[in-house]
């Protein structure tokens, strides 16, 4: 994305005129000065983007149909990804029926704004994230064939519908159990005959249906303590893909990271994380940061203190990640604290609102935004 003047002007206009009414009474947008994050990323051969949802116009949400939020996205991003609108639960209300209305509207908007859309996701391999009907679906006496046909039909239908409009897919999402490193078992994999053949089939089908696209395995293993088995399980999965000739192009590193207590061993954490990334890239896989945000754990309620700590943590993480030339795309899971999923998922015990995103709940840029900009500018790329 080039830094389109109309986008920056639109966002600045919202700040000047109070056009950010959907953000709540008294809220105002404030455009960051200087180049957009995507412009800074592009200068280093990278791209910057964000998640967006498809809730209807008139709702106070992180939707493309919210003019204030849309202006923030178009002012800062070169690509976007749907929060939920492309998942099975959204697209597949019944075994024999697809509903593309919400995602069609979203990708049409993205096309109009010259924003590339990532595909997320073609298979979230956990029972709780598959459609409810899947749990009781009767696959019949030929369960394996029926299960394979269901998966193949889903992936082919989605990929062929959007063609080259989508050039990168999270084909499989979160298939590894964090506590053990083993693969999850699902109603679909039980029908097909195991998790491994199910995941392999998903990637092989995606390659055939979207030969132009980057195919990604996406997961939330992290550099924080307690992730050892999760990282090991992901490495085992990637090694298996490589050994079986499964067409996987990159690892999606979600990057839902969290600040650590004072005195934690950052040197050890970073060394272990580098060993993991080195092992991934040594197998020939690319890297994508797919869902970056920062939980402000172990920090006082004072927003200035938290914002500074989150910004510093973001910079340290991005400097490490950006040192890998295999990384090109960097996406945050939302641009504004106002709409972050973390507030509902894991609120702070002291009641202070989470501040995990580059912009605050009034769409004012935060130190985290500055850290992202600085990390892009400092990235060393050949």
Residue 145's pLDDT is: 98
Q: What is the pLDDT of residues 190-202, one digit of tens each?
A: 999 999 999 999 9
> What whole-number distance in Å separates Cα of residue 96 and Cα of residue 212?
28
What torsion, rounded to 10 degrees, do the Cα atoms 159, 165, 168, 171 define? -20
The structure tokens listed for 84 are: 């939920």
> What whole-number distance in Å separates Cα of residue 45 and Cα of residue 68?
28
Beta bridge partners of 81: 51, 118
Whether domain 5-378 has CATH 3.40.50.2300: no
Domain ranges (residues) in the chain: 5-378
Average pLDDT by consecutive 10-residue portion of the chain (382 residues)?
38 40 47 88 98 96 96 97 98 97 99 99 98 96 97 99 99 98 98 98 99 99 96 99 99 97 86 98 99 95 97 97 98 98 94 97 97 97 68
Residue 381's pLDDT is: 76
> What whole-number distance in Å separates Cα of residue 11 and Cα of residue 1?
16
* Spatial CB neighbours of 276, under 8 Å, sequence gap ≥ 6: 221, 223, 231, 235
> What whole-number distance in Å separates Cα of residue 249 and Cα of residue 238?
10
Residue 7's pLDDT is: 39
The 3-class SS string of the chain reads CCCCHHHHHHHHHHHHHCCCHHHCCCCCCCCCCCCCHHHHHHCCCCEEEEEEECCCCCCCCCECCCHHHHHHHHHHCCEEEECCCCCHHHHCCECCECCCHHHHHHHHHHHHCCCEEEEEEEEECCHHHCCHHHHHCCCCCCHHHHHHHHHHHHHHHHHHHHHHHEEEEEEEECCECCCCCCECCCHHHHHHCCHHHHHHHHHHHHHHHCCCCEEEEEECCCCCCCCHHHHHHHHHHHHHHHHHCCCCCEEEECCEEECCCCCCCHHHHHHHHHHHHHHHHHCCCEEEEEEEEEECCCCCCCHHHHHHHHHHHHHHHHHHHHCCCCEEEEEECCCEHHHCCHHHHCCCCCCCCCCCCCECCCCCECHHHHHHHHHHHHCCCC
What is the DSSP pairing of strand 116-124 with strand 256-258?
A: unpaired
Nearest 5 degrees, angle CA 183-CA 296-CA 38? 80
Asked if 376 contacts 40 with a C-beta cutoff of 8 angstroms, the reply is yes
- Mean pLDDT over each residue of the chain, to the nearest integer: 92
Query: What's the pTM?
Result: 0.93
Asked if 118 contacts 67 with a C-beta cutoff of 8 angstroms, the reply is no
């Amino acid at each position: 994305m080039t830094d389109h003047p109309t986008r920056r002007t639109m966002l600045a206009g919202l700040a000047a005129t109070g056009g950010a009414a959907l953000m709540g009474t008294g809220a105002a947008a404030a455009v960051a000065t200087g180049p957009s994050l995507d412009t800074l990323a592009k200068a280093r051969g990278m791209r910057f983007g964000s998640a967006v949802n498809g809730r209807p116009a008139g709702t106070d949400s992180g939707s493309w149909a919210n003019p204030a939020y849309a202006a923030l996205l178009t002012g800062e991003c070169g690509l976007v990804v749907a929060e939920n609108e492309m998942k099975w639960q959204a697209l597949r209300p019944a075994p024999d029926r697809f509903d593309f209305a919400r995602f069609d509207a979203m990708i049409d908007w993205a096309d109009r704004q010259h924003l590339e859309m990532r595909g997320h996701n073609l298979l979230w391999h956990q029972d709780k994230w598959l459609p409810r009907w899947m749990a009781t679906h009767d696959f019949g006496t030929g369960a394996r064939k029926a299960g394979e046909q269901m998966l193949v039909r889903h992936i082919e239908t989605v990929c062929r519908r959007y063609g080259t409009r989508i050039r990168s897919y999270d084909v499989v999402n979160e298939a590894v159990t964090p506590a053990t490193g083993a693969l999850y078992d699902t109603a679909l994999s039980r029908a097909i005959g195991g998790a491994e053949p199910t995941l392999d089939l998903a990637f092989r089908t995606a390659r055939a249906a979207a030969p132009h696209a980057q195919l990604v395995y996406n997961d939330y293993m992290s550099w924080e303590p307690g992730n050892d088995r999760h990282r090991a399980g992901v490495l085992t999965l990637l090694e298996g893909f490589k050994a079986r000739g499964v067409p996987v192009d990159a690892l999606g590193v979600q990057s839902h990271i969290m600040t650590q207590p004072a005195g934690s061993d950052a040197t050890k954490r970073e060394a272990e994380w580098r060993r993991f990334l080195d092992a991934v890239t040594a197998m020939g896989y690319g890297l994508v940061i797919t869902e970056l945000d920062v939980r402000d754990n172990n920090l006082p309620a004072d927003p200035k203190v938290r914002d500074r700590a989150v910004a510093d943590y973001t910079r340290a993480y991005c400097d490490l990640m950006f040192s890998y030339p295999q990384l090109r795309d960097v996406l945050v899971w939302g641009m504004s604290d106002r709409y972050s999923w973390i507030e509902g998922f894991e609120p702070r015990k002291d009641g202070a609102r989470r501040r995990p995103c580059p912009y605050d709940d009034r769409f004012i840029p935060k130190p985290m935004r500055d850290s992202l900009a600085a990390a892009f500018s400092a990235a060393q790329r050949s």
